[in-house]
Amino acid sequence: MDVAVIGTGHVGLVTCVALTHLGHNVAGTDSDGEKITLVQRGGSPFHEPGLDDLLSQRVATGSLVFHREIADVVPGSEMVFICVGTPPRADGDASLLSVERSAREIARHATGSVVVVEKSTVPVGTAARLRTILLQERPDLDFEVVSNPEFLREGSALRDTLEPDRILVGAETTRGFDAMRRLYEPLTRRGIPLIETDLMTAELAKHACNAFLALKISFANAMARICDRAGADVVRVADIMGADPRIGRAFLDAGLGYGGFCFPKDLAAFERLVERLGAELPLLREIARINEEAVQSAAQNVKEALWNLEDKRIALLGLAFKPDTDDVRFAPALALARLLVAQGAHVLGYDPKAAANAKAELPELEVSVDPYDAAAGANCVVLCTEWQEFRALDLERLKNIMAYPLVIDGRNFFDPQIMRKLGFTYYPTGRPPVVPHRAAT
Ligand code: UGA
């Protein structure tokens, strides 16, 4: 099929590459001209495992092309995906300005009846508005609006798109469903379920999924606070809960909490939506509050351990909001850094991919070239993002170069027994600490 994709951010670019991988011809566009120049050469504007290779291959074969203008990608396309950003407004609501503009441009440049696919995460009712706009602009054309929310995670976005647990399609007519069935036939042929539902249900289900995943994380973090007081071990609690298939172990890892450009903003937007619908779900606010508390609690641990933070060097290992990405938007590591900097600490950070983005976001942060560079002379190391490469850390060396061997583990990454053996003062999250000496300054 001939497909156009508007917006080449994380979701859009992965969609472009994945659809060409499934055998379709894709033309992508973005309002950021520099980004288009880069992707036209086959380069990815962000780090996502496997994306660079597949992107450059597809661009080289010509099945994936990029243009600066929507006017250059819409004519002749049977299907147009809207993958533009829906950033949060000051009140937490999602800004749908780019979505609306995209719809108007699609209508202006469509040469025939087009299936418009809403891929960006949007509040329920957005598809209905899109249809109104398309018809206002071009009453002569027969548009179909389809909701096809994505469930990809940064860091495993290609795998999540090419081997999804399920594909969700919300539509209103057979034509819309048929187009989506044809598009995803290479996946459904392999047994991947395609769930068909109405537009409103598809839109709402996406918010429900993200809210529930965030709820699991916040539940684990609330348990961590209680385990800290009770002297219990939150990792074992999560294992025991997760052994029940009705609960499941995934997303019960306590730590610094969730970040990224999805959960925080989607939860806030969902809260606004619920309000607009005249309903109530105070649970959403509580999930966000517990998430903020996770970072505050880590900052408190640092302060408890180091007493006065002025003149103290604190090294953060991992700055991205999760491993395998260079994305630092709403990253818990940066939220923690801000709290520590505000109290006068000298904060250094190392990240395998996200250091430059972190520095741009928080200029007070000193970025280091490797974990040892960050830890040299540090009064405390905080593990913020569980990058696999930290598994290979020489902990003995780390201990010897620190001013004081104090580690705060914001992801329960290290083995407390090993930390004890090496002589660290070690504070995991929601697990009994390892404290060889009473005072640690
Ligand atoms: C999330 C969802 O997982 C995707 O299904 C969804 O498509 C995407 O949002 C979206 O709406 O676009 P993503 O934000 O990329 O994906 O990453 P996750 O793997 O979900 O991690 C989110 C945050 O939760 C990270 O900061 C991670 O460190 C944190 N997390 C995750 C925990 O603190 N504990 C856990 O047990 C799991």
- Which mutation among 11, 120, 153 tests ligand 1's pocket best, with the greatest number of atoms within 8 A of CB? 153
Q: Does 152 contact ligand 1 (Cβ within 6 A)? A: yes
- Of the candidates 16, 83, 227, 262, the residue annotated as catalytic is 262
In this prediction, residue 439 carries a pLDDT of: 45
Ligand 1 atom, smallest distance to 252 CA: 36
Residue keyed to tokens 């953060």: 316
Ligand 1 atom, smallest distance to 259 CA: 26
- The number of C-alpha atoms within 13 Å of 353 and in the hemisphere containing its C-beta is 20
pLDDT tens, residue order, the chain (441 aa): 999 999 999 999 999 999 999 999 999 999 999 999 999 999 999 999 999 999 999 999 999 999 999 999 999 999 999 999 999 999 989 899 999 999 999 999 999 989 999 998 999 999 999 999 999 999 999 999 999 999 999 999 999 999 999 999 999 999 999 999 999 999 999 999 999 999 999 999 999 999 999 999 999 999 999 999 999 999 999 999 999 999 999 999 999 999 999 999 999 999 999 999 999 999 999 999 999 999 999 999 999 999 999 989 999 999 999 999 999 999 999 999 999 999 999 999 999 999 999 999 999 999 999 999 999 999 999 999 999 999 999 999 999 999 999 999 999 999 999 999 999 999 999 999 999 865 444
- Distance, in Å, from the CA atom of 118 to the CA atom of 203, rounded to the nearest integer, reads 9
Q: Is 101 left (phi over 0), alpha (psi -120 to 50) or beta?
A: alpha
Token pair of 229 as six digits: 């007081």
Q: Does 217 contact ligand 1 (Cβ within 6 A)? A: yes
Helix (H) or strand (E) holding 61: helix 51-61
Q: Does 255 contact ligand 1 (Cβ within 6 A)? A: yes
Token pair of 37 as six digits: 């120049």
SS3 content of the chain, % helix, strand, coil (to 5): 45, 15, 40
In this prediction, residue 436 carries a pLDDT of: 85
Catalytic site includes residue 262 = yes
In this prediction, residue 441 carries a pLDDT of: 44
Ligand 1 center to residue 153 CA distance, Å? 6
- Distance, in Å, from the CA atom of 321 to the CA atom of 210, rounded to the nearest integer, reads 16
Helix (H) or strand (E) holding 67: strand 64-67
Question: How large is the angle between the packed helices 263-276 and 283-306, nearest 10 degrees?
Answer: 140
In this prediction, residue 438 carries a pLDDT of: 52
- Which mutation among 322, 325, 390 tests ligand 1's pocket best, with the greatest number of atoms within 8 A of CB? 322
In this prediction, residue 437 carries a pLDDT of: 62
Q: Does 227 contact ligand 1 (Cβ within 6 A)? A: no
Q: Are the C-beta atoms of residues 365 and 341 closer than 8 Å to each other?
A: yes
pTM over 0.85: yes
Which long-range contacts link 368-377 to residues 24+ away (Cβ below 8 Å)?
368/315, 371/315, 371/317, 371/398, 372/397, 372/398, 372/401, 374/315, 374/316, 374/317, 374/348, 374/349, 374/350, 375/315, 375/317, 375/401, 375/402, 376/401, 376/402, 377/313, 377/401, 377/402, 377/403
Closest Cα to residue 173, out of 141, 142, 132? 142
